[in-house]
Amino acid sequence: MAIREISPREAYRRLAGGVRLVDVREEHERMGGMAQGARGVERAELERAPDRHAPARDEPLMLICQVGGRSLQAARSLAAQGYSEVVSVAGGTSAWQAQGLPMTPPEADYDPDLHDRYSRHLRLPEVGLEGQRRLQRARVLLIGAGGLGSPAAYYLAAAGVGTLRIADDDDVERSNLQRQILHAENRIGTAKVASAAATLTALNPRTTVEAVRERVTSANVEALLDGADLVVDGADNLPARYLLNDACVKLAIPLVYGAVHRFEGQASVFDAGRRRGEAPCYRCLFPEPPPPEAAPNCAEAGVLGVLPGVIGLIQATEAIKLLLGIGVPLSGRLLHFDALAMRFRETRLGPDPDCPLCAPGRAFPGYIDYAAFCAGG
């Protein structure tokens, strides 16, 4: 259906004559200023209930958006619903402003960097401005700035997580660069957490990176977890995994788990601390660690360089979903990925009613010697 487009100047002239002008952009876009005299109604709302905002279908009606595309589509929708005098403003608010026509001032709490940087998030109803602000207030602990931690940290920072606390005691080595994309050749020999902070700050200066050059231990784990909304497990060893699981159960903090081996990876969410008897913990899946020879690390067994990227991105996705409270988390599900077959499969996980750690009513047994436990000692 053909819709007439008019120039911003003609729209301004008509507006002065009493014709209704409706700005169909999202609320967060209108916060930066609108064509003076326009009324703000989101496109979806206008198309869903046009009578509420333009009751007379035979009276002139003008629609405007940012550059003209959405207003044109909205005009077609309204014309199909019987509006005979609807037009779209060509070039939208951008053209209106460029031609020096009057604009309303931005709202007092309008943050142009936030609105520009996260504009694609803001257009998602499941995120929106309030969701983006939730991400901005969030604090995430990431253990490990290596293969899994690199992609997870990249996308958590890019998504706008306000604070990333990254703990790792290693230095960058040349062999890391095949998969640990936070680092670069000119940082070989520097602390991984310092390298990570430099990369992530360059990507998004709005994210605060707390670089902690420490290995997670029973002595420091609760200090590292202090204030964290969730933990992303990017560790490369079993003692750290059991320790993180135990601390997260004790402190009721969700743990986003990931692991890789050669060409295969897995991911899950362990949230038993907040959902006793409903969600499993890591010990429900692995009550006892495998013998050391059955679980070699990447240095011993090798790993396809892109594999940690896939699993790390799944971890980042789960973390963002948990922080926003959207979607269905991987809690109670173990996701397996086979890179050679390019196949995902899922295993259902239930809580172990006899779990020594997370069974309902069971008191926290205390931290143990995790290195000895995983060594079979």
Q: Which residue has the tokens 């909205």?
A: 74
Intervals of CATH 3.40.250.10 along the chain? 5-110
Greater confidence, 1 or 167? 167
Asked if the model's pLDDT at residue 73 lies above 80, the reply is: yes
Asked if the model's pLDDT at residue 218 lies above 90, the reply is: yes
Average pLDDT, the chain: 95
List, for residues 83-98, the tens digit of each pLDDT value: 999 999 999 999 999 9
54/336 Cα distance (integer angstroms) = 53
Asked if the model's pLDDT at residue 291 lies above 80, the reply is: no
Q: What is the pLDDT of residue 339?
A: 98
Where is 261: in which H helix or E strand?
A: strand 255-261
CATH architecture of 5-110: 3-Layer(aba) Sandwich (3.40)
Asked if the model's pLDDT at residue 294 lies above 80, the reply is: no
20-23 and 61-64 as β-strands: parallel, antiparallel, unpaired?
parallel
Ranking 1-15, 252-266, 298-312 by mean pLDDT, the lowest is 298-312
Q: What is the pLDDT of residue 299?
A: 66
Asked whether the CA dihedral 296, 298, 304, 307 is positive or negative, the reply is positive
Give the residue numbers annotated as catalytic, written as ranges: 298
Asked if the model's pLDDT at residue 315 lies above 80, the reply is: yes
Q: What is the mean pLDDT of residues 257-273?
A: 97
Q: How much is the pTM?
A: 0.88
Q: What is the mean pLDDT of residues 274-284?
A: 96
Half-sphere exposure of 165 (CA within 13 A, CB side): 19
Whole-angstrom CA distances from 322 to 131, 222, 255 are 11, 21, 10
Asked if the model's pLDDT at residue 82 lies above 80, the reply is: yes
List, for residues 220-234, the tens digit of each pLDDT value: 999 999 999 999 999
139-143 and 86-89 as β-strands: parallel, antiparallel, unpaired?
unpaired
Intervals of CATH 3.40.50.720 along the chain? 121-359
CATH code for 121-359? 3.40.50.720
Q: What is the pLDDT of residue 172?
A: 98
Q: Which two tokens stand for residue 351?
A: 């809580």
- Confidence label for 307 from pLDDT (cuts 50, 70 and 90): very high
Greater confidence, 292 or 122? 122
